């Protein structure tokens, strides 16, 4: 009896303490590499070494003064933007087809669209590199081109957009779509004027997802880019293999800042959208 009472009293307290300790551990775990990188990017020395004795913005200046690094950043942003557009458009159209139209072999097609998402980047990159390595269109080799990397990244981004948008479309009140047909708008018009605006939050989130995936990816890009089209993560990976300097920390910070800037933009848009609807 007393044994049971003691256990019942003891267990919750112990679990609470354990829970708090775990919380500290997990937050520390997640924040360590972030904070280390952030701190290191302001280091004045040219070696990665703790403690840091002098602070400066030297490596930021160095990053922006180097055409190799700024070109890589530019290339990354171009490829990520292309991937976002390509995968958002194709993913949304496919999701709409799945949600509203009769499709033969639906399960097979679903699996086919989702499958690349589960494939390792090294396999996707290798396959495309082997298959399209020697292919030329109008005398221009498509291997090494940014377009090929966009498509490769879309193999991951498009299924994600597709999945997200399928779930989003399922929340749409279909009577509203019928009301639009009923008032004389054809399917295309209805899709553009009614459906897409109604799921705009889903569209924007999917596009952001696609952008982030492409911006951060470097295994496929490693196989598919050449010196001129190299993305920032690829350049970082190659420099890490030779020697790590605080310049890499700066590159990490800038890569993350690009992501967070997009996130902030979308947050602003989202808040404005909310205001618009709940005004007054």
Partner 1 sequence: MTERTALELENVRRCFGSVVAVDDVSLAVAPGEFVTLLGPSGSGKTSTLRLIGGFEELDAGAIRIKGERIDHLPPYRRDTATIFQSGALFPHKTVAENVAYGLRMRKVERPERDERIRQALDIVRLQGYEDRYPSQLSGGQKQRVALARSLAVRPAILLFDEPLSALDLSLRLQLRGEIKRLHDELKFSAIYVTHDQSEAMAMSSRVAVMNKGRIEQVDRPEKIFHDPANEFVFTFIGESCCLLVRCSGTDVTDRNGQAIALSLRDSLPEGDSRLYIRPSRLKLAAEAQGLPNGLTATIHFIEFLGDVHRYHLKAGALEVFADHAGAIGHDVGALIDVGWRSEDMRVFR
Partner 2 sequence: MGGNLLMTAQRRKQRTALLLLLPALVIVLIFFGLPTIFMARMSFNLHPDQRLFVPGFTFEHYAALLSNPVFTGAIWTTVKLAVMASFATVVIGYAFALIVWLKPPRWRLLLIGVALCPLLISEIAIIFGWWMFFPKNGLLSYALHSLGLVNDKISLMYTEFAAFVGLIYVTLPYCFFILLSIFDGIDRRMIEASADLGAPPLTTLREVLLPLTWTGLLVAFSQSFIWTMGTYATPSALGPDTLWTVGYLIQEQMLGKHNWPLAAALSMVLVLGVAAVMVLTRSLMPKRASYHV
Judged by the rule CB under 8 A, the positions of this chain that interact with partner 1 are 173, 175-176, 178-187, 189-190, 193-194, 197-198, 200, 276-280
Output the CA–CA distances (angstroms, integers) from residue 111 to 105, 107, 159, 169, in the order listed.
10, 6, 10, 19
Minimum CB separation from partner 1 for residue 196, in Å? 10
Task: Report how far residue 163's alpha carbon sits from residue 223's, in angstroms, rounded to the nearest whole number.
Answer: 27
130 binds, among partner 1, partner 2, none (CB under 5 to 8 A by kind): partner 2
Closer CB to partner 2, 8 or 279, in the complex: 8
11 binds, among partner 2, partner 1, none (CB under 5 to 8 A by kind): partner 2
Buried b (16+ CB within 10 A) or exposed e, 157-168: bbbbbbbbbbeb
Closer CB to partner 1, 144 or 202, in the complex: 202
HSE-up of residue 215 (Cα within 13 Å, Cβ side): 22
Closer CB to partner 2, 112 or 137, in the complex: 112
Closer CB to partner 1, 36 or 172, in the complex: 172
Closer CB to partner 2, 57 or 135, in the complex: 135
Q: Which residues 6+ apart lie within 8 Å of 235 measured at CB? A: 68, 69, 72, 251
Minimum CB separation from partner 1 for residue 182, in Å? 5
Task: Report how far residue 164's alpha carbon sits from residue 202's, in angstroms, rounded to the nearest whole number.
Answer: 7
Closer CB to partner 1, 47 or 277, in the complex: 277
198 binds, among partner 1, partner 2, none (CB under 5 to 8 A by kind): partner 1
Minimum CB separation from partner 1 for residue 122, in Å? 43
195 binds, among partner 2, partner 1, none (CB under 5 to 8 A by kind): none
Minimum CB separation from partner 1 for residue 273, in Å? 9
Output the CA–CA distances (angstroms, integers) from residue 98 to 94, 163, 243, in the order listed.
6, 11, 49
Q: Do 147 and 192 contact (CB within 8 A), yes or no?
A: no
Minimum CB separation from partner 1 for residue 100, in Å? 12
155 binds, among partner 1, partner 2, none (CB under 5 to 8 A by kind): partner 2
194 binds, among partner 2, partner 1, none (CB under 5 to 8 A by kind): partner 1
Minimum CB separation from partner 2 for residue 217, in Å? 8
């Amino acid at each position: 009896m007393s044994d049971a009472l003691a256990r019942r009293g003891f267990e919750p307290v112990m679990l609470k303490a354990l829970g708090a300790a775990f919380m500290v551990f997990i937050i520390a775990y997640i924040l360590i590499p972030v904070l280390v990188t952030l701190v290191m990017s302001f280091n004045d020395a040219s070696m990665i070494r703790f403690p840091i004795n002098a602070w400066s913005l030297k490596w930021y200046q160095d990053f922006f003064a180097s055409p190799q690094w700024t070109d890589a950043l530019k290339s990354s942003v171009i490829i990520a933007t292309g991937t976002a557009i390509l995968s958002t458009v194709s993913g949304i159209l496919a999701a709409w087809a799945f949600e509203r139209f009769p499709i033969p072999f639906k399960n097979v097609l679903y699996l086919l669209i989702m499958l690349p998402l589960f494939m390792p980047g090294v396999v996707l990159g290798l396959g495309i590199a082997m298959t399209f390595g020697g292919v030329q269109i109008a005398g221009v080799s498509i291997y090494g081109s940014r377009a090929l990397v966009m498509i490769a990244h879309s193999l991951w981004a498009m299924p994600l957009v597709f999945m997200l948008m399928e779930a989003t479309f399922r929340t749409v009140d279909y009577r509203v779509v019928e009301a639009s047909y009923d008032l004389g708008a054809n399917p295309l018009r209805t899709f553009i004027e009614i459906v897409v605006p109604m799921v705009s939050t889903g569209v924007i989130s999917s596009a952001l997802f696609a952008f982030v995936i492409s911006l951060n990816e470097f295994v496929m890009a490693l196989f598919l880019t050449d010196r001129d089209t190299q993305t920032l993560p690829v350049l970082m990976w190659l420099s890490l293999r030779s020697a790590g300097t605080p310049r890499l920390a700066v590159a990490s910070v800038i890569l993350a800042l690009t992501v967070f800037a997009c996130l902030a933009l979308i947050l602003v848009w989202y808040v404005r959208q909310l205001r618009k609807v709940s005004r007054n």
